[in-house]
Amino acid sequence: MNFIFIEALRLDASVGIYSRERVASQIVEIDLNFALPEAAAVRDNIADTVDYAAAIECIRAEVAAHHFNLIETLGEFIADLLCERFAVEWAEIRLAKPGVMKEVRRVGVCVQRGKAK
C-alpha cells in the first residue's frame, strides 16, 4: 500500500473550550498520512490520485469556517473531509496544539479512519 504524507501543516484554528480560546484562533499542527489508490502509480495521472494541494486548501478553508470545542472533534472533522471529498479509504490524522501547557511541547490526538490493507 502506498501513502501520501503531509507533515507539519500549520494553520489557524478556532479550537478550545476556554473563553480565551473562543476569542482568538490558535496554531494547530497537523500531520496527515493517507492511502493512495493503486492506479496512481500505474497510470502516472493526477486524476488517479489525491491532489494534496487541493486537500490542504480544503482543510484550511473548512477549518477556518468552524469552531471546535475539542481537538478530538477537529481530528474527526478532517478525517471525514478526506474520506468524503477525496475518496480516501484510509487516513491517519495527528493534530497538536503547541505550547498550550507549561513544560509540555505539544498536546494532541491521533485519529484513524478506514482500514489499512
Q: What is the pLDDT of residue 116?
A: 60
d(CA 89, CA 114): 6
- H or E element in which residue 81 lies: helix 71-86
Q: What is the pLDDT of residue 13?
A: 95
> Cβ(35)–Cβ(98) under 8 Å?
no
Q: What is the pLDDT of residue 104?
A: 85
Q: What is the pLDDT of residue 59?
A: 97
- H or E element in which residue 12 lies: strand 3-15
Domains along the sequence of the chain with CATH: 3-114 (3.30.1130.10)
Tens-digit pLDDT string for the chain (117 aa): 789 999 999 999 999 898 888 888 899 999 999 998 777 778 888 888 899 999 999 999 999 999 999 999 999 999 999 999 998 989 999 999 998 778 888 889 999 988 765
d(CA 90, CA 86): 11
d(CA 5, CA 36): 10
